[in-house]
Structure 1
Amino acid sequence: MAGHATGHKTGHDRRSPGFWLLAGFFSLFVLFMYGPMLVIFTLSFQGPEGGLTFPMRGFSLHWYQELAKGLGVVDIAAALRRSLTLGIAVMLATVLLSVLAGLAFRKRLVGASVLFFVVVASLIMPSIIVSLGIGLEFRLLDGIIQWGLGRLGAEETLANYGTAMGLYTSALGAHLTWTLPFGLLIMFAVFNRFNPAYEEAARDLGATPWQGFRHVVLPLIAPSVIGVGMFGFTLSWDEIARTSQAIGDVNTLPLELQGLTSTVTTPSIYALGTVTTLVSFLVMALTLLLVLILKRRSARRTPA
């Protein structure tokens, strides 16, 4: 009987040729996705005499030290700060607007379908076209502002006026056209599965709408809200196309990195790419940690 059980288990666990074919294809796909990243990581640790290709010549942190000194006329630290602050602003705006829209779409709204498709339409438009359109809008706005200043006789202000384009105007709007649809799709899926009986129970116990949201709804949707925030930051952090024509006179770190690919001929550029990638991984790790903490806190509060 034991032999029969062992034979049955062995037969059950035997993999078909199709399984190994699909496993091999999946392994190649993962290698194709993450192989370039691993190559960049590895080459960033070249020795002082190392170049941009294999074979490696030594192993050191030399190019990270060179990166800390700066890359020519490019102020990497300032570009890093701009990308971080813009990413945080995009994250906060994406979370706030996505949650509010998710709450609003739970009710019957006139034109809700049209509004939804208008918001999501930016995902299917070429990114560079979105960037060009936003840039043209702000150039028209600059013309209107300059005309208004001239009509008001504010000659000194007009002489010092540059552009309305910037990190927290045109660039923020351009990034939201990319991050907000993802946030909306996540929150719509969350609220479609949300049981309104929890809110009704809170109201029956005397809670106000704000108290019901704060103490009942928000704790239940908190992991998804954190996920939306992660999407908002990471999508903004490495965005190039939608930023290129809509940021004005400054550059974010991805734009500086793109420009450096044609001028920097040392592994310093690989060190910079590694640092930017590690920031994305750090944000994802913090997101997973927060979700884990929320789940454990919820489990402790739930009676056995």
Structure 2
Amino acid sequence: MAGTVRRRSRGFIPLAIFCALYILFLYGPVITIFVLSFQGPEGGLTFPMRGLSLHWYHELFKGLGVVDIGAAIRRSLALGVVVMLLTTLFSLMAGLAFRKGFKGGGVLFYTAVASLIMPSIIISLGIGLQFRLFDDVIKTMLTHLAWTETLESYTTLMGLYTSGLGAHLTWTLPFGMLIMFAVFNRFNPAYEEAARDQGATPWQTLRHVVLPLIGPSLVGVGMFGFTLSWDEIARSSQAIGDVNTLPLELQGLTTTVTTPSIYALGSSTTVVSLLVIFAALGAAALMRRRAGAQA
């Protein structure tokens, strides 16, 4: 006898329509920009499409006015990789530390998470002001020491890997920490006890037992770190120094570039983010498969 057909509830169709509209609302602008980036040479910033070509991608690689897009991309990629590595490392260390529990851990946790609550522009302004105070202190010291040449050549401590890196970490670290706390909260300590019973040292237990088991989660933390840094604008605006990351350059170009080349740039940056996400998902799946094979 054939199995009974499960009837859908009355609310299925309205919920399905709402879900479809919600997905369209989220990804519709991205799809629109992607489609318009393939306008022909006579195309504009709106529909209808006037031809279909890669013309605006060629124009993008030639450069957009005085802005060096290639340099901005290299800066954002390099900063994103550094943020990814530091976020993964510090989140892992925080997760291991909070497993043991220590005095003041609650205050430290809420202090770290507080940066998610505060407006991003306020954090950016605060970091920029802090580094300007550092600059004043250094200039005062150089003046008292009469190091005239050093004082004349000194500019600022603010930069891509100082204030800019710190601003990005205030955004990525809380996410990484929350992920690792959730991972270790459901981590079975029996695996570690079994390793210690076999004579493994704490370092060997961490390297050969803990890290392989939480490896996919670490990949996810790294993915969050890179993608959040790659797209960050508000926290970079006042704390990046005299250079701009790609999102800041893109924000400035929206007021000056009036051709679909701006859409080509936006589509290219989106593709980079998607590649990172797919690479992270692939790495996590591979690590799970290896862990399952070893088990």
Provide TM-score, normalisation by structure 1.
Answer: 0.96
Alignment partners' CA distance in 2, 1:295 and 1:24: 35
Q: Hey, what's the Cα distance between the residues in 1 that align with 2:216 and 2:50?
A: 45
Q: CA deviation at 1:15?
A: 1.3
Divergent runs of 4+, >6 A: none
Aligned length: 295
Determine which of 181, 185, 201 is the counterpart of 2:174.
181
For the residue of structure 2 that corresponds to 1:226, the secondary structure is helix
Rounded Cα–Cα distance in structure 1 between residues aligned with 2:101 and 2:86: 24
Measure the CA separation in 2 of the matches of 1:189 and 1:71.
Answer: 44
* 1:87 aligned residue (80, 90, 96): 80
Q: Distance in 2 between matches of 1:296 and 1:106?
A: 27
For residue 108 of structure 1, report the CA deviation from its aligned partner: 2.1
Gapped runs of 5+ residues in structure 2?
Answer: none
Find 2:260's aligned residue among 253, 263, 267.
Answer: 267
SS in 2 for 1:71: coil
In structure 1, what is the Cα distance between the partners aligned to 2:285 and 2:241? 40
Distance, in Å, in 2 between the alignment partners of 1:68 and 1:217 is 45
3-state SS of 2:257 partner: coil
Amino acid at match of 1:100: M
Aligned to 1:258: 251
The counterpart of 2:154, out of the listed 142, 146, 161, is: 161
What is the match of residue 202 of structure 2? 209
Q: Which residue of 1 aligns with 2:285?
A: 292
Mapping of residues 1-304 of structure 1, within 5 Å: 2=1, 5=2, 9-10=4-5, 13-302=6-295
Distance 1:71 1:189 in 2: 44
Please give the alpha-carbon distance, in whole angstroms, between the structure 1 residues aligned to 2:158 and 2:12. Answer: 54
Q: Deviations over 1:97-148 (max 9, x none)?
A: 0000000001121011111000000001000000000000000000011111
Q: Give 1:86's aligned amino acid.
A: L
1:17 partner SS: coil
SS at match of 1:242: coil
C-alpha displacement of 1:208 = 1.2
TM-align CA RMSD: 0.8
User: Deviation of residue 278 (structure 1)?
Assistant: 0.3
Q: Structure 1 CA distance, aligned partners of 2:100 and 2:287? A: 28
CA distance in 2, matches of 1:300, 1:103: 26
Q: Secondary structure at the match of 2:235?
A: helix
SS in 2 for 1:250: coil
